[in-house]
Amino acid sequence: MLHRIFGIETEYGLLINEEQPDRPPSWVAYQIIEHLFRVKRYGVLDLHHRGYDEPPGNGGFLLNGGRMYVDMGHLEFASPECHSLRDLVASDRAGDWILQDAIEELGLAENVSLIKNNIDHETGATFGCHENYLVSRNFPFSYKGLGKLIPFLVTRQIFTGAGRIGSAENHDGWIPIEDLAGQDPLMQASHERLAVPFQISQRADYIVNDFFEWVQHNRAIINTRDEPLADPTQFRRIHLLVGDSNLSEIATTLKMGTTGLVLQLIEDGHAPTGLDFHDPVETLRAVSRDSDRTWMVTLATGERLSAIDIQDRFLELARKHYHGQDEETDWVLELWEGVLNDLRGDYKQLVGRVDWASKLWLLETFREQENLPWEDPWLKSLDLEYHNVDPQKGLYFGLVEEGSAPRVTTNDAIQLAKYAPPRNTRAFGRGEVIRHLSEQSWPDVQDSHQSEHRFPPYVINWSVFQVRGSSAFIMPDPFRTYAQEVRDHLKI
């Protein structure tokens, strides 16, 4: 897609299938990290502190140019920089495969499951899916400019949502004024589990602000942190954490591709106006919890529209201005139009393409067969199993097996993406660094001296690396591969 670099960061849930496990999930996470980097040599571990919460050995960069690490006790995979959506989907799926391979090679597959979702029904823990989009430094990075993105993000969940049973408790002491006043039946906490047995988004309940700089405890629709991980005079990075983790390859493509086009509309001054909400967070939740799936919302102007109508306005302008700009754009426009048309009819038309629809169909079918109420624990278990990345167990992969879930990549492409970075972005040059370093021996983190933590043999970041004995090599442009320059620098 024109002038766009994409990336996805996925946090995984670890489910230990034992009544009384003798090891916590975090122990399993670190076993996987040790296996990937020490045994399989999929990359090189950090030998330095990346932050107060990322000590040496916490994770590292992979041969494919991405990162695998432990974040607050759970595994997280950050994809390499991708210039095409097919590369992005393949890289995203490669993260799943790398981790599932490790589970099996460690002999843990019978008792441990990797869950690519965003919630734990029992503990209330959440797992994020963070989206990254490179934009020009000239992007209108202000409340006025970014505000044009809000209506799109609030309503895109109708095709990007992963779906969930029930709803979240209020947490961190945050209670909407509507709950206290009892004004909004969709927002009442005590009995909403029965009122909203199923909703279309997993993240909607955990978003409490429209704009905020940090990602913990005050999750916002748009994260306003200015951290480009590239030349700050040329680029910005739009970092979003409002979206769900997707299993459907079509849903991942639509989530990233449509957002990329809307960012282009904003950059070029073509974004629709007059679609603001009085309270975007409340609207986000109301759309997610609308059991009738009409998704009617009220604009700040008082006008009533459906979420589909709002998406149609963005699609219409994207088609008007960008149809024909490249093959990938036209592909996204076609997918976008198709899914919006089908959302106006029976949701079953979307099974295999939209995760919430696929999950709802599976749960409804099973619930009717077994005559179960929505609050039955069996359904919650199936909710989780939809997201199991093990293709032998995950319910989504049953749809793939029977041909009901269209693919946008191939197993061969995913297998390649486990080891090889995209060859048209900065990840290619970083991959050369990782490959060179992974062929050498390095001290165990536990055996290295404190001085080596401060002055390690190598330091690798997204836009720079340095190997002891040579100068730092800066890679400020994510669109450049730097492959030959890196080889020359390392004399390989």
Residues 6+ apart with CB under 8 A from 284: 154, 157, 201, 204, 207, 221, 242
* CB-based contact 164:43 (threshold 8 Å): no
Residues 489/432, Cβ–Cβ less than 8 Å: no
Q: What is the DSSP string of 329-344?
A: HHHHHHHHHHHHHHHT
> How many Cα atoms sit within 13 Å of 212 on the Cβ side?
15
CA distance 92 to 344: 30
CA nearest to 159, candidates 248, 238, 240: 248
Q: Which residue has the tokens 């390989």?
A: 492
Dist. CA 114–CA 397, nearest whole Å: 14
Is 71 one of the catalytic residues?
yes
Among residues 428, 87, 68, which one has the least CA distance to residue 252?
87
SS3 category, 400: helix
d(CA 445, CA 57): 6
Q: How far apart are CA 133 and CA 131, in angstroms?
A: 7
Strand partners, 199: 164
Catalytic residue among 22, 46, 53, 71: 71
What one-letter code names the amino acid at 129? C
Which amino acids are annotated catalytic? 71
